[in-house]
Amino acid sequence: MSQPAIEIRGITKDFVKFRALDEVSFEVPEKSTFGLLGPNGAGKTTLFSLIASFLRPSSGSVKVQGIDVRNISELRGKLSILPQDAQFQGNIPILEQIVFLACLGGRTRHEAEKEAMKALGLVGLEDKAKKGGRVLSHGMSKRLGIAQAFLGNPSVVLLDEPTAGLDPKSADTIRDLIFNHRIAGTLVISSHDIGEIQRMCDQVAILKSGKLVECADVGELTQSSDTVRMTFIRELTPEESEIVTKVEGVTGIELDEKFTYLVSLSSDHPREDTIASVVQGLAIAGVVARSVEDGGKLETKFRELTD
């Protein structure tokens, strides 16, 4: 059995007037995309800070790649983080800032400059290389943060609220960048956007008031015999949605998120026949489903566990 990318054992974190985390234990599998969910104040950012060794736990331990984070220097170049409110210096060229961060990760100046220019190109900011951070919009700053988080292909990357505060188009750009930068290692994403976590992650841990209330595969948490998720390359027209609702065994269709629909099925009709009829009916109309998956909304399970 392979060693987990992150091992969290009995983590408790006390501040002066409250307990932020209370005996939290779980593992993040190697080479997975792992989500961290919880209401405001659940302890997500505190947990990220403990994993990155920005804070020390009151009790318990955290290991990354088998290394206790108290020995954080041994994780140089292996662990990277994009904090929720990452900011860049307004009067220093962003290229120099990325080069400096790459050097901190163990690269030579020449290697750092090469990596930094490649990273800026990947996020579409090469034309801003010699400008200071003050010229960056909020969306640009997020893209720059993604670039620095993936410098050098670290083994474990932590992304804390990577799309927070962005308009839908900018948020989609950031999600695409994350997908395009997926590494051979492990990605941990904290977000308030439950649909985003469901779409991007293999497994999820859910916190409530500093306690772990669930840790499981996303598929297990959303498994449902009466719902399928269908994703297309665009939104369906009203006429195309009507094709779905007219199929025998379909009781309804609902847009869940961008291009993804929840199709409700009746238990009185063979499930496989209903799904096949939906796919065939849309194909005749020129609409091909990119994916068809069992399950409902992760948000439903999230509310059940945290309300």
Whole-number pLDDT of residue 166: 77
Q: Which residues in the chain come in under a pLDDT of 50?
A: none
Whole-number pLDDT of residue 181: 65
Angstrom distance (rounded) from CA 6 to CA 46: 16
Angstrom distance (rounded) from CA 57 to CA 10: 10
Fold for 6-221, please state it: Rossmann fold (3.40.50)
Following DSSP, what letter does each residue of 26-42 receive, concatenated?
EEE-TT-EEEEE--TTS
Angstrom distance (rounded) from CA 51 to CA 78: 13
The CATH class of the 224-306 domain is: alpha beta
Burial label, 7 (beta-carbon count in 10 A; 0-12, 13-18, 19+): middle
In the chain, domain spans: 6-221, 224-306
Whole-number pLDDT of residue 296: 75
Whole-number pLDDT of residue 117: 86
Strand partners, 231: 260, 291
- Provide the 10 A C-beta neighbour count for residue 170: 17
Q: 197, 32 in Cβ contact below 8 A?
A: no
